[in-house]
Amino acid sequence: MMILQLLLFFCFTFGNGNGGGCGGASAFIVPQPTSTTSRATARTSSSSTATALHQQQLSKGGGEQPPEVYPLSRKKILLIEEAKRLNASLASSTSSSPSNSDVAASSSSSYSPAGWSNRLGSVLTPASIPGVYTADRPFYWNKIDVGCRMTVVQLTQSSASTSSKEELPQLLIHSPVHLDPPLIEALSKLGSVSHIVSPNYEHVKYAQEWANYYPDAKVWGCPGLSEKMPSVRWTGEFMEGTRPPGFYHGGSSSSVGGGNGADDANASLVGYIDGMWNWNDVQPMHINTEVNPFTGRPFFNEVVFYHALSKTLIVTDLYWNYPRGDGVTNGDLAEKWESVAAPASAGEDDEDFGVWELAPNVGDIPLGSKVWGKIGMDKLFYPFYMNVMVMPEKRKTFEEIARYITCGNGWEVETIIPAHGDIVRGKKVCRRVLETFFRIQCRSS
């Protein structure tokens, strides 16, 4: 009876589509910047730094184009360098490669106290190469920090600055968190906010806040979200059954075409809507296989995304990775699969970083967060979702989606960015994690 009550609690709490979402907390006070930079001034000065990471990769790669595959150890170096560029407290470190303790100590006053839901305590953290960043935040639900993460992607398309003649990379915002002055300033260094995505029924709390501040940005929702949240200034929503380039062509996106404009390049795609970004950059997949058994309606109704250049899977609630009680970054992965998930070192370029400079050990996580993640989500909700909420008539479709995401015949995932919990890195690690989570087995290559 107790388990049934908990499951009912989960479904009616999470499945009501009331826009509870994640991304901020009334009990969490975000420190204000020491100086206020106007929106116009910040955007004017951003042009020289918006593509700095890409230029850095080009120059260090020694060629005109960045390499198709960055070794994991090289990614680590580039991510640390970009973190220093974005975070003054890290840049002031005298060490060229700061230790975990140095980073944790210096980051505690840069934006917010460091903790398991924002290990660096930073406004934005570089997450994947090239051009992927996250805004990690505590999110309090019934006084329990369940954590949340927004993802920012620099698209290959650009837009003219409203305050200068220079072009800025377009930014895609996935699962927006609370918008505050430090975040606005940090984003202005990366590009122009052009697309704002609320990827499921729950990650929508701050959509209107962003739509108001960025009136020129296009605001997209998962299927059915505009009906549930009519007050949001939606540009449109993803169509039911949206699939990425190549899903019906054996994983190849070559049939999409190579037009310069996003609309030209995406004209033949399943679910594409005029005005969206180039789907060869960030590819969507609608998880249209679930139902809330207590309401008969979709539960999260999530659209997940794959950033092709960085080989990054971006999800909100389809997959989560809450840390274990001691707070060690991806400690569970190293414990389960030591041969593929140990911290990366020289000559071991396909392993997760574990505890490292941008994800330091922050000590034990609060009891409430531990119970929520490791019992509520891992032990109760996960089997209920997989055994009950994935509809029997949709299990074949679910497996097809899972294999396309996991097995390399479609997406080739080398980084997993969940909205809840730690980021996972390494091709072998990501495949093992997704195989286990989706309950599938990929054929050996």
pLDDT digits 0-9 by tens, 352-388: 888 999 999 999 999 999 999 999 999 999 999 999 9
Could you identify the residue written with the tokens 């080989």? 311
The alpha helices in 259-318, defined as continuous H runs, are 262-265
pLDDT recorded at residue 339: 53
Percentage with pLDDT > 70 across the chain = 70
Confidence of residue 85 (pLDDT cuts 50, 70, 90): confident
With residue 168 as reference, give the H or E element that holds it: strand 167-174
| Cβ pair 153, 307 in contact under 8 A | yes
pLDDT over 60 at 129, yes or no: yes
3-state helix, strand, coil in the chain (%, to 5): 35, 15, 50
CATH topology of domain 2-29+42-252+264-438: Metallo-beta-lactamase; Chain A (3.60.15)
Q: Which residues contact 82 (CB under 8 A, 6 or more apart)?
A: 52, 53, 56, 126
Query: What does the pLDDT look like over 135-152, one tens digit per residue?
Result: 999 998 888 999 999 999
Closest CA to 442 of 410, 395, 397: 410
pTM for the whole structure: 0.81
Confidence of residue 188 (pLDDT cuts 50, 70, 90): very high
Confidence of residue 245 (pLDDT cuts 50, 70, 90): confident
Query: What does the pLDDT look like over 285-325, one tens digit per residue?
Result: 999 999 999 989 998 999 999 999 999 999 999 999 999 99
Query: What does the pLDDT look like over 15-57, one tens digit per residue?
Result: 444 545 564 333 222 233 333 333 333 333 333 333 444 444 4
pLDDT recorded at residue 179: 95
pLDDT recorded at residue 159: 81
- The DSSP string of 224-260 is THHHH-TTS--SEEPPTT---TTTTTTT--GGG---S
With residue 289 as reference, give the H or E element that holds it: none
Q: How many CB atoms lie within 10 A of CB 36?
A: 10
Closest CA to 107 of 136, 73, 145: 136
Per-domain residue ranges of the chain? 2-29+42-252+264-438
Rounded distance between C-alpha atoms, residue 339 and residue 324, angstroms: 19
- The DSSP string of 368-429 is HHHIIIIIIIIIIIHHHIIIIIB-GGGHHHHHHHHHHHHSSSS---SEEE-SSB--EE-HHH
Confidence of residue 10 (pLDDT cuts 50, 70, 90): low
Confidence of residue 221 (pLDDT cuts 50, 70, 90): very high
Say how many residues make up the chain: 445
Q: In the sheet where 125-128 sits, what is the strand order?
A: 125-128, 132-137, 148-160, 167-174, 192-198, 218-221, 236-237
pLDDT over 80 at 336, yes or no: no
